[in-house]
Structure 1
Amino acid sequence: MARPHEDHLWALVHTERAALAEDLVGLDAEQWRHGTLCGRWDVEDIVAHLTAAASLNRWQWVRSMLGARFRPDVHNQRRMLEHRGASPADTLARFRGVVGSCTAPSGHTAAYLGEVVVHAQDIRRPLGLLRTPSAATLTPVADFFARRDFAVNSRSAVAGLRLHADDGPFRAGDGALVTGSPLALLMSMAGRTPYLDELAGPGVATLRARLEGAPQA
């Protein structure tokens, strides 16, 4: 049985998935093909990836990674194509079907909340869609990202830096100060360099130097 904290995090995951699905309803064909902050993937690719992420339990993930010879990019590409529909409408319908899913390869629920938050912003920012998750949603993800490298090398990126959210409770690390909104700090930890422009403090230059040219996950 899930602990109350995990239940709370899953509820946040479901809320963020539902919010993204609503943002996607009115997209036209050109917008579905639009570039994102996630490397070569377009909007529909990311939506299919999120469907895949909500559909794989631990053993399915292990089998997929074995088949990909433990190459995450190969695994992600195969699973994304598997869950991409015949049309954007079909892809969106598949995503809506997993909005309430609690399926995941591991118990790192904060990381899976982070996956939805980060990829939603990967889509929203290039399209000019305005939605910022609450500090209550962003804080557990930022805490997790600052503590460890998981799907992204977030802990390594901010090692030796002191992070301070200017409109939320998130605090982490020691060293040169980096301040900004919880969303800008989280997205920067996830390697999304456009958000660096929203940060301030003497540690920003170090963080920028570490992130520039880093691949997006």
Structure 2
Amino acid sequence: MVQAERTALAEDLESLTVEQWQHPTLCSQWDVEQVLAHLTAAASLNQWQWLRSILGARFRPDVHNQRRLAEHRGRTPAETLERFRAILDSTKAPSGHLAAYLGEVVVHAQDIRQPLGLPRRPSVEALTVVADFYAGRDFTVKSGTLAAGLQLRADDGSFAAGTGPMVTGSTLALVMGMAGRKPYLDELAGPGLPILRSRT
């Protein structure tokens, strides 16, 4: 599923203009090319490489991310895309939490697609794996904290988690909401939505 979602994103980016590569994303500090370089970096580090990098950054994730992004960004957007293509089949990850790294691809792909108006959506199967993981814990995002005390139910798949005031919507919107992406909250409904919105 990780490979499929990476491949779909690469296909979406093939025909971007120079202006689109520089377009802001839902990762407010990064443009499209920078998010893609970040994804390349994430697929290029095993546990020990990640540990050395985070130690070198003195446990500052932002410093670690920025250094690895710069390492994997090309001289041009085309080169950045080629570097991303080179890791489509990579099985490297900093830990065994594969659902989290599937989430990394799914969420960042939508961070790019949503502002550009690109219509492709990740598969519901992949999104359900990520949603189940996100609802249960904080890992790369504070998803468990955002979802705590809420009942989340997808209206297009099997995802269901939690107890409390209900929040419903597509699996994609629930994943992106748990990842803290505010624009997707507008696609959700239910009495628990004001709580989720206040936490985001």
After superposition, residues 36-75 of structure 1 pair within 5 angstroms as: 36-75=25-64
CA distance in 1, matches of 2:56, 2:9: 31
Letter in 2 for 1:104: A
CA distance in 1, matches of 2:147, 2:122: 22
Tell me the percent identity.
69
Letter in 2 for 1:154: S
- Structure 2, unaligned runs of 5 or more: none
3-state DSSP class of the match of 2:180? coil
CA distance in 1, matches of 2:51, 2:198: 34
CA distance in 1, matches of 2:120, 2:13: 12
> Partner of 2:2 in structure 1?
13
Q: Is 1:25–2:53 an aligned residue pair?
A: no
Equivalent of residue 127 in structure 1, options 104, 116, 123: 116
Letter in 1 for 2:42: A
CA distance in 2, matches of 1:56, 1:207: 33
> Partner of 2:128 in structure 1?
139
3-state DSSP class of the match of 2:166? strand
Q: Once the two structures are superposed, what CA deviation does each residue of 1:108-141 show, in whole Å capped at 9, x if it has no partner?
A: 0000000000000000000000011121111010
Report the alpha carbon displacement of residue 94 of structure 1 after superposing the two structures with TM. Answer: 0.2
> Partner of 2:186 in structure 1?
197
Letter in 1 for 2:24: G
Report the alpha carbon displacement of residue 81 of structure 1 after superposing the two structures with TM. Answer: 0.5
CA distance in 2, matches of 1:80, 1:197: 31
3-state DSSP class of the match of 1:69? coil
CA distance in 1, matches of 2:9, 2:123: 14
> How much is the aligned-residue C-alpha RMSD, in angstroms?
0.4
CA distance in 1, matches of 2:126, 2:142: 20
Moved over 3 A (4+): none
Q: TM-score, normalised by structure 2?
A: 0.99
Q: Once the two structures are superposed, what CA deviation does each residue of 1:20-54 show, in whole Å capped at 9, x if it has no partner?
A: 00000000100000000012100000000000000
Q: TM-score, normalised by structure 1?
A: 0.92
- Structure 1, unaligned runs of 5 or more: 1-11, 212-217
Letter in 2 for 1:199: L
Report the alpha carbon displacement of residue 101 of structure 1 after superposing the two structures with TM. Answer: 0.2
Report the alpha carbon displacement of residue 150 of structure 1 after superposing the two structures with TM. Answer: 0.4
CA distance in 1, matches of 2:98, 2:112: 22
Q: Tell me the number of residue pairs that the alignment of Structure 1 and Structure 2 aligns.
A: 200
